[in-house]
């Protein structure tokens, strides 16, 4: 078990290293420099600025210092916001995005599994059709459209919920719902097809021949098997919620990390872009690793070492 985790951990580090390198060279491949955006700056000031930010050093020196910075959590200063460092920005925005993301994930899982189960147990009847249609909608309607539609209907017209900003629980309802619809649709589809397959398995027949009640069969026998693939979906789920947050935070004016990322992209604030990208990648990779481990713990069939099955 331990060797497995360590192996995966090394892969994670390798991937992060690749991402860091890639983003570094990408940012430095952009023509021009961070300062020539607004107005023409005199030569001496430009040189002084470059020296201040260390941009006059040879590329590979900058690269190494960048890598060193990552290890010490020093991701550099923001070029657009005087006096703020990238780490500060991340620490400020991340908790907000985390809260929003967690709400969305809970919603997605709850909604997705319930609907998927409903559909599977009523295979090919109207409940199934309805759930399948909802699932296709969820997958096709882009999150920013759902978000704006919800905002329009519930905030502007019906005035039931706040339009934007962050603060209380009610502020998080619409954004969380918008974020959760796409993953919920995926989970519903996945749950449904797994369950339908499982319901046709022989061991369900065995369970029924024991005289067990349908509810017990559903929960103890079906669900446990059906949920395994859903758990392994949690990794991509986290990624979807993450990218969805860029747009949802923009629409609802939420000061989370996604909003910062978008602004830094629009402003060409390179250090912030690199820093947040790296941070996001790290988060996602950790998520995937956790999910992998979880999956191994839950499914008794997975062998974590090389031992041959006993007979």
Site for other proteins in 180-209 (CB under 8 A): 192-193, 196-197, 201-203, 205-209
Give Cβ neighbours of residue 301 (< 8 Å, ≥ 6 apart). Answer: none
The nearest distance, CB 94 to other proteins, in angstroms, is: 16
Residue 247 near other proteins by CB under 8 A: yes
**Angstrom distance (rounded) from CA 54 to CA 42:** 18
Residues 127-166 that bind other proteins (CB under 8 A): 133, 136-137, 139-142, 144-145, 148-149, 151-152, 156
Backbone angles phi, psi at 4, to 5 degrees: -60, -50
Q: How far is the CB of 262 from other proteins (least distance, A)?
A: 6
Among the listed residues 115, 251, 254, 257, the single contact to other proteins using CB under 8 A? 251
By CB under 8 A, tell whether 310 contacts other proteins: yes
d(CA 52, CA 25): 20
Half-sphere exposure for 75 (CA within 13 Å, toward CB): 25
Name the minimum Å distance from CB 171 to other proteins.
Answer: 18
Determine the Cα angle at 275 with ends 249 and 255, to 5°.
20
Give 18 or 48: the residue with its C-beta nearer to other proteins.
Answer: 18
Near other proteins by CB under 8 A: residue from 4, 15, 98, 114? 15
Confirm if 188 and 112 have CB atoms less than 8 A apart: yes
Q: Which of residues 21-60 bind other proteins (CB under 8 A)?
A: 23, 26-27, 29-30
Distance of CA 105 to the CA centre of its chain: 9
Minimum CB separation from other proteins for residue 311, in Å? 4
What is the smallest separation between the CB atom of 140 and other proteins, expressed in angstroms?
Answer: 4
Distance CA 255, CA 57 (A): 34
Of the candidates 268, 293, 295, 296, which one interacts with other proteins according to CB under 8 A?
268
Q: The dihedral of CA 157, 101, 295, 214: what is its sign?
A: negative
Distance in Å, CB of 6 to other proteins, minimum: 17
Count of residues engaged in binding other proteins, rule: CB under 8 A: 71
Residues 2 and 7: their CA atoms lie apart, in Å, by 9
306 binds other proteins (CB under 8 A): no
């Amino acid at each position: 078990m331990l060797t497995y985790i360590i192996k995966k951990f090394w892969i994670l580090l390798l991937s992060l290293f690749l991402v860091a390198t890639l983003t570094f060279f990408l940012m430095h491949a952009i023509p021009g420099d961070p300062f020539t955006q607004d107005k023409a700056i005199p030569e001496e000031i430009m040189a002084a600025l470059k020296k201040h930010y260390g941009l006059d050093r040879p590329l590979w020196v900058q690269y190494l210092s960048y890598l060193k910075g990552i290890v010490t959590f020093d991701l550099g200063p923001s070029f657009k916001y005087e006096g703020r460092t990238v780490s500060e920005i991340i620490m400020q925005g991340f908790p907000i995005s985390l809260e929003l993301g967690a709400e969305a994930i809970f919603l997605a899982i709850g909604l997705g599994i319930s609907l998927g189960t409903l559909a599977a147990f009523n295979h090919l009847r109207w409940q199934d059709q309805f759930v399948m249609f909802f699932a296709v909608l969820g997958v096709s309607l882009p999150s920013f459209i759902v978000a704006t539609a919800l905002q329009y209907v519930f905030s502007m017209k019906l005035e039931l919920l706040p339009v934007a900003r962050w603060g209380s629980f009610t502020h998080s309802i619409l954004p969380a719902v918008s974020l959760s619809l796409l993953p919920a649709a995926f989970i519903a589809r996945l749950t449904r097809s797994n369950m339908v397959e499982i319901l046709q398995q022989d061991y369900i027949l065995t369970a029924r021949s024991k005289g067990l009640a349908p509810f017990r069969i559903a929960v103890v026998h079906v669900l446990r098997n059906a949920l395994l693939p859903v758990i392994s979906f949690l990794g991509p789920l986290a990624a979807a919620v993450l990218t969805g947050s860029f747009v949802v935070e923009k629409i609802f004016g939420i000061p989370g990390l996604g909003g910062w990322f978008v602004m830094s992209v629009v402003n060409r604030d390179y250090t912030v872009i690199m820093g947040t990208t790296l941070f996001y990648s790290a988060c996602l990779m950790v998520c995937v690793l956790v999910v992998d481990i979880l999956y191994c713990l839950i499914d008794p069939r997975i062998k974590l070492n090389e031992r041959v099955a006993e007979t």
